[in-house]
Amino acid sequence: MRKTIRSICAAAAVAASLTLTSHTVWANEPVWTKGEVTKVDKELGKVTIRHEEITNLEMPPMRMIFRVADPAMLDQLAVGQKGEFYFVDENGRMMIKQIKPK
Ligand SMILES: [Cu+2]
């Protein structure tokens, strides 16, 4: 009986460490959020997107303005463009880091 409890504890410890490891790896992976471009301002380098919930930023669905990490992204974006976006918080500025156009 005691042995059974000990092996269950060991299994739980392994599971916990696996979870921790996975999180560490995923921290640098893009988190994709679906969205649609509703406005592009090339001069200001800003894009308005109606986005679904952004889990990595704990943000509910809404329409908002983002900066882009690379001005070249502006050429890939047009009003009505749908896709998946990797949004990040760069010192309080919401920014599009990567785009997967659909
Ligand atoms: Cu938002």
CATH number at 83 reads 2.40.50.320
pLDDT of 49 strictly over 80: yes
- pTM of the predicted model, to two decimals? 0.72
Same domain flag for 88 and 66: yes
Cα separations in angstroms, 26 against 56, 79, 85: 11, 31, 16
Give the rounded distance of the alpha carbon of 47 from its chain centre: 16
Q: Band of the pLDDT at 21, cuts 50, 70, 90?
A: very low
Domain count, the chain: 2
| Residue 19 and residue 40 share a domain | no
- Mean of the per-residue pLDDT values of the chain: 83
Q: Do 22 and 40 belong together in one domain?
A: no
Q: Note the pLDDT of residue 8.
A: 54
**Residue 73 Cα to ligand 1 middle (Å):** 19
| pLDDT tier for residue 30 given thresholds of 50, 70 and 90 | very high
What integer is the mean pLDDT of 51-64?
97
Q: Containing domain of residue 4, as a range?
A: 1-29
Percent of the chain with pLDDT over 90: 68
CA dist 45 and 77 (Å) reads: 11
Q: Does 75 lie in the same domain as 51?
A: yes
The first and second tokens of residue 28, run together, are 């640098």
N-terminal to C-terminal alpha carbon distance within the chain: 56
Ligand 1 centre and the CA of 66: distance in Å? 9
Q: Is the pLDDT of residue 20 over 80?
A: no
Is pLDDT at 40 greater than 60 in this prediction?
A: yes
pLDDT at 76 > cutoff 80? yes
99 alpha carbon – ligand 1 mean position (Å): 16
